[in-house]
Chain A
Amino acid sequence: MIALFFAMKGEADPYIDALGLKGAGDISGFKIYSDDTYILCVTGMGKVNSACAVTRILSLYEGKIDIAVNIGTCAGEDVGRTYIINRICDIDSGRDLYPDMLYKSPFVEISLHTSDRYKKDSVFEDDYGPYVYDMEGAAFFISASNFLSPDRILLFKTVSDPGDPDIVTADYCRSLLEPSVQDITALIGDIVSSFEGDPYLAADTMACKYSEELHCSEYMRNDLNRLIRYALSSGVDIASYIDERLPIRDRIEGKKVLEDVRKMLL
């Protein structure tokens, strides 16, 4: 599943509409919209809200979320421009955070500064280069990092104002984010479809089947699993080898077959 996090409903609306997501009530007070592929959460503004929502959703769906994405508006120089974030500076703690930048994207990369305070000046460059500014990104990233690897945490920010938060309304957010919905959802979809499945699935399924046939104890099961993984990785047809020895009456016979498998393989 793809988890999308927005600070404000106005930012989420273009995605709820474009993806046809349905309202799915509240989770711990956070509004949720979803279908079989997406879970979209409106976190509310600020670092605490963002951290709570991300932690709550990712722990509730632990193991089911493939990627977490934070999308929203930010302060910056180039109003209307959408960026992908390659560095996040948590202004309040001084900590720097880095998502992996593994995938080609149509968006320009930039640093993001996050603080709970509104930005009311128009300085968007420091010793490390140009940046944009928001109130959630660092908290989102820190929280998501407890659940996902840094290649599976993405942030997209569209500049709404050059340090003038009073002009940011729900309608304005919607109009700013709408033009990039297509590109962002396509990119996320492509990234998710490039994730590899469980490399051990075939071996583990086979081990499960034959551990029954061989009447394995737990110790024997681990042994069998290791031998099957080795056999499959080196192109040996271990299934036929065991099948030829079936049925196996009891654990003593099972142990003997396991020893034969080992001798054959090593």
Chain B
Amino acid sequence: MSGKCSYNPTFSHVYVEEQVKELPLTKEVLSNLPSSKIIYIKHYKDIFNRKKQDYRAQSKSRSLILAANKGNLIFKGSDMCQDHGNSRFFYAAGVMNCLFDCDYCFLKGMYNTADIVLFVNLEDYFDKVKRMLSDGPMFLSVSYDTDLYALQGIADIPSRWIDLAKVNLDLTIELRTKAHPKTFVPLGNVIYSFTLSPQKVISSFERGTSSLRGRLDAVKEATDAGCKVRLCFDPLIRVRDWESCYNEFMDTVIYGVCWDKVYDISVGTFRISAEYIKKLRRCCPMSEVTEYPFVNSEGYSKYPDEIASSMRSFILKRLPEVIDEGKIFCDSDGSVFGDR
């Protein structure tokens, strides 16, 4: 034996459903991955749903699957989702899994693989949204269970959604990210949401995402461009020295953001469906964030109430210094919304 093996780079293998090989988004993605091995397949589930997949091994060399979503395209946001007061709140399921790799991500509990499916039949999504708009205005989170900007090097999907919003003013879209988007388009019905975390949390648990500095720069670019910006202090993570960690973080954020241009803010502590926690730990064993002795309550694994509320209060007591309290949304009523 001559030594340890080298892993293939991310997306060294792209599995492409035969039926989508001529779609424009497929061509765009493949043109951005010229060295990848392309393997044509019948159905994405033949790969994505294989049994006994090893997330930890696969996460060292993730594959991309390009497919058509023939099932549900747009989902109603569950009661557990923070809807920021929007009654017709929906999310688009355009990608399964995420190229970023946050230790606490609920997707690890949801899926059995590290591979990523990108549904390239975007026109079907757009048609569906246009039909739904005939029932009234809607709020649509388009990167609710993935981070679309993580894929911006291979496909500019956010721009396509923004183009749709541009001509459908009853549609408000939210683009949530831990990345630094390359471009910003100021539209009244497009909200750029940035998840902010202390650098220590980013370095330890949010692999592949932008640094705090990068995210704050992105926030500045977005507000300077006149975009609607939402800041998400969510999930708050209980690290050992969390008070000093979050104190330093809040100092940085408070001085680094032009607050009068911030549209609103959400605050929430980490919580995850109790069904997912076992699998999450298997994917990220011996991680401070997954190994926490959570309490189980109403089907969710979460921090004990007194700890969660002290973490929330810690952030909330700093925010009124800089922003109108009416703009702060919070999970203090115990609502639970995925990873965020």
Which residues does A use to contact B, with CB under 8 Å? Answer: 86-87, 96-98, 100-104, 109, 111, 127-129, 145-146, 148-152, 186-187, 189-194, 196, 199-200, 203, 223, 226-227, 229-230, 232-236, 262, 265-266
Contacts and interface: CB of A to CB of B under 8 A. Distances in A.
B52 A104 contact: no
Interface of B: 1-8, 12-13, 15, 18, 37, 39-42, 46-47, 50-54, 56-58, 60-61, 63, 239-240, 285-288, 290-293, 304, 307
A87 B13 CA distance: 12
Given A101-B13, A230-B293, A236-B240, A193 B18 contact: no
Nearest to B42: A96
A230 B37 contact: no
B52 A145 contact: yes
A26 to B, nearest CB: 29
A232 B5 contact: no
Given A101-B63, A104-B8, A145-B50, A109 B1 contact: no
Contacts, number: 121
Given A100-B57, A266-B307, A227 B293 contact: yes
A264 to B, nearest CB: 11
A103 B293 CA distance: 36
A190 B39 CA distance: 25
A98 B37 CA distance: 14
B37 A187 contact: no
11 contacts: A87-B41, A100-B53, A102-B61, A109-B37, A128-B18, A129-B39, A150-B54, A190-B4, A203-B286, A229-B286, A234-B288
B47 A104 contact: no
Contacts of B12: 101
Given A86-B39, A229-B286, A190 B3 contact: yes
Contacts of A96: 41-42, 46
Given A96-B41, A96-B42, A127-B40, 10 more contacts: A97-B46, A98-B46, A100-B53, A103-B61, A151-B58, A229-B291, A233-B290, A234-B240, A234-B288, A266-B307
A65 B308 CA distance: 44
B51 A226 contact: no
Contact of A262 (B2, B46, B47, B293): B293
A127 B40 CA distance: 9
B46 A191 contact: no
A230 B63 CA distance: 31
Contacts of A226: 291, 293
A145 to B, nearest CB: 6
A132 B12 CA distance: 22
A96 B44 CA distance: 11
A257 to B, nearest CB: 16
B40 A149 contact: no
Nearest to A103: B5
B50 A98 contact: yes
B2 A189 contact: yes
Given A86-B13, A203-B286, A234-B240, A104 B293 contact: no
Residue from B47, B240, B291 with most neighbouring chain A CB atoms (10 Å): B291
B53 A150 contact: yes
Contact of A102 (B8, B41, B292, B307): B8
Contacts of A100: 53-54, 57-58, 61, 63
Contacts of B53: 100, 149-150
A127 B18 contact: yes
Nearest to B240: A234
